[in-house]
Structures are given as C-alpha cells and as structure tokens.
Amino acid sequence: MAVIAIARGTLNAATELSGSLSRALGWNVVTREEVYDAARAFGIEETGLGELSFVDERPPSFWYAHSDKRRRYLACFQAALMDKAMRDDLIYVGHLGHLLISGFGHVLRVRLAAPEAYRVKALVRERRMTQAQAIGFIREVDERRLRWSQFLYGVDWRTPELYDLVLNPEKLCVGAMTESVVAITRCAEMQTTPHDRRRMGDLHLAAVSRAILLRDPSTRGIEWEVVAHSDTGRLEVYCPHVSAGSIAGTVAGIFPFTGGESFEVAGDRDSHIRDLLRKIRGVTSVQVVLGEAPPSTDLAD
C-alpha cells in the first residue's frame, strides 16, 4: 500500500512521470478525477465543490459560509482516496490530495517545479499559446492554486515542507526523474510496516465514518472527530464543540444539530449515530462522546 503522490501543475510532466513510474514499478496510476468519481458514493457531488478546479475557477469568496461544504468535500475525497490506497501500491496524480494522506513513511510526496521561462516555452509548444498568453495562464493558475490550497487545507501549496521530493523537469529528463523516485521507493524508509498498515486502516475507517456523518441530514454541520480502531472495528465519535452543559433543554436533554433536526434525548442521538456507522463493513461497536478526542498516544503520528 505504498503511495507515490505527484502534484501536477500546468505542464504534462506529471502525467509523463507517472506513466514512466507505472511501467518501472508495475503500480497503477490513479488520477484526481478517478478519485472524485469514486467519491460520488459518499455524496461529494452534493457539496458543489467537486466539479470546480483551480485551473478554471476561483474558490468561493466567503470561505466561512462554505465551511460545512469544505468539510464534506474533504471527508468524501479522503474516504475515496483511502479506499484505493488500502488496496494496493499506487501512483496518485492530482493537485493537493496528497495532503490527506501525509504523515506516513510509505507515502512519497513529489512536486515538479520548473522556472517560469521553461513553463512558458512548454505551453507555447504543447498548447500553441503565444508567449503572453502562456505567462498570463501560468500566473493565473498559480494564484488560483494558492487560493484553493488556503481554502481547502489552510496551507500555501508552495511550502517545501509539504513535499518529500522536488524535481526540476528543466534539468532532469523523465528517465532520470523516474530513476530517482524508484530508488527512493526501494529504500528502507519507504517500506510499509505492520504499524503503517494499522494506522492506514484506522485513518481509512475514520474517513469513511466522517463522510457518512457529514452526509446525513441529522448529523451534518458538526465538526465530528472520529477515532477508529480498525483492528477491532471500534469507533469513538467525539463532538468537540458541544459539551454536556451546552445541550439545549436542561430537562429533556435536546441535542441540536445544524442540519435542522434535533433529538429529544441523548439516547436517540447515540442510537442514530450507531445505526449510521454500524453499516460500515468491519465496525463492531460505536461510542459517542461529547467533548474533544483525547490526544493521540501514537508516537508515529
């Protein structure tokens, strides 16, 4: 379940590199579009964000008003990406999706970065743009990508720490870049360990659970935290911004949901959440807790 995640930009170099790596390693290539199609099963279309692209559109102007859609989009996309990552070794080619599976030793995050002059020449050659058109296109796309990375992930996509390897296609041919990446994937640090498999399974189960909670009309709109134990099938669902003392209705114990519905007693709320999540394959128990999730004791996190 090792992953090579290549962040693509305005050039065809990422596509060429992924194809070369696939032939060298025998791994499947998965694109952002394929993950999006798989995420339809989790309701990503309902967010209205999936069809937008930083190449063509700017992110929504009022970010706060779209915070719920943003959470749902990321939950759906992460669940679908994790589905694919859990099955086999793969090469992912997308925009910023690698940020959803960072933190694992067996995930190699690659960025292709070339000087603007080289990018301009490539666009003039590949897309038959004028030099002025190519310069304008590159600068507009880079600016939109920055806005999208801030909107979705709260980061600047140009930050070097977001990548493990940065390659310059102006200086390195596809063959040389392929050799470099293949060499890294074969080093000890990139090998998947049983600990990695368990942590990946936990993240996958938690992502699927969040996607389901954020899709249901009764539970969407809340920033759920899910702690998953994939080895036992146990889920712990935390609602960090709602405490027992803040529950509306001191006698009836009404628990309000921003989706427009409420449960008269906490038992109804818990039962509904359990019913939703127990449909996930492998889930054996669901515990619902008001408050924040405890800090992780996993030293690798």
Q: What pLDDT score does 103 carry? A: 78
Mean pLDDT of the chain: 84
- Residue 70 sits in the same domain as residue 35: yes
Is the pLDDT reported for residue 193 higher than 50?
yes
Q: What pLDDT score does 50 carry? A: 64
Tell me the pLDDT band of 53, cut-offs 50, 70 and 90.
low
Range of the domain at 30: 3-190
Would you say the C-alpha torsion 291, 97, 282, 256 has a positive or negative sign? positive
Is the pLDDT reported for residue 251 higher than 70?
no
Is the pLDDT reported for residue 297 higher than 80?
no
Q: What pLDDT score does 262 carry? A: 41
- Determine the 3-state secondary structure of 247 from DSSP: coil
Tell me the pLDDT band of 301, cut-offs 50, 70 and 90.
very low
Question: Is residue 250 included in any domain, yes or no?
Answer: yes
- Residue 208 sits in the same domain as residue 165: no
Q: How many domains does the chain have?
A: 2
- Residue 53 sits in the same domain as residue 183: yes
Q: Tens digits of per-residue pLDDT, 33-47?
A: 999 999 999 999 888
CA distance 270 to 169: 53
- Residue 20 sits in the same domain as residue 150: yes
Q: Tens digits of per-residue pLDDT, 67-109?
A: 788 889 999 999 999 999 998 899 999 988 888 988 788 999 9
Q: Which of 37, 5, 35, 9 is nearest to 21 (CA)?
A: 5
Q: Report the first-to-last Cα separation within the chain, whole angstroms.
A: 18
Question: Is residue 13 included in any domain, yes or no?
Answer: yes
Beta strands at 234-239 and 225-229: parallel, antiparallel or unpaired: antiparallel
Tell me the pLDDT band of 256, cut-offs 50, 70 and 90.
very low
Tell me the pLDDT band of 56, cut-offs 50, 70 and 90.
low
Strand order in the sheet with 3-7: 28-31, 90-94, 3-7, 107-112, 165-167
- Residue 258 sits in the same domain as residue 125: no
Please provide the DSSP assignment of 121-133 as one string.
HHHHHHH---HHH
CA distance 166 to 22: 19
- Residue 27 sits in the same domain as residue 166: yes
Tell me the pLDDT band of 151, cut-offs 50, 70 and 90.
confident
Question: Is residue 295 included in any domain, yes or no?
Answer: no
Please provide the DSSP assignment of 48-104 as one string.
S-TT--TTT-PPPS-TGGGHHHHHHHHHHHHHHHHHHHHHS-EEEEESSGGGGG-S-
CA distance 164 to 185: 12
Look at 120-134, 161-175, 196-210, 232-246 and tell me which has the smallest mean pLDDT. Answer: 232-246
Question: Is residue 28 included in any domain, yes or no?
Answer: yes
User: pLDDT > 90: what percent of the chain?
Assistant: 57
CA distance 49 to 214: 15
Q: What is the CATH number of the domain that holds 166?
A: 3.40.50.300
- Residue 198 sits in the same domain as residue 56: no
CA distance 132 to 148: 24
Q: What pLDDT score does 294 carry? A: 82
CA distance 192 to 179: 20
**What value, to the nearest 5°, has the Cα angle with vertex 94 and ends 92 and 100?**
75
Q: What pLDDT score does 88 carry? A: 87
Is the pLDDT reported for residue 57 higher than 90?
no
CA distance 47 to 64: 14
Q: What pLDDT score does 260 carry? A: 38
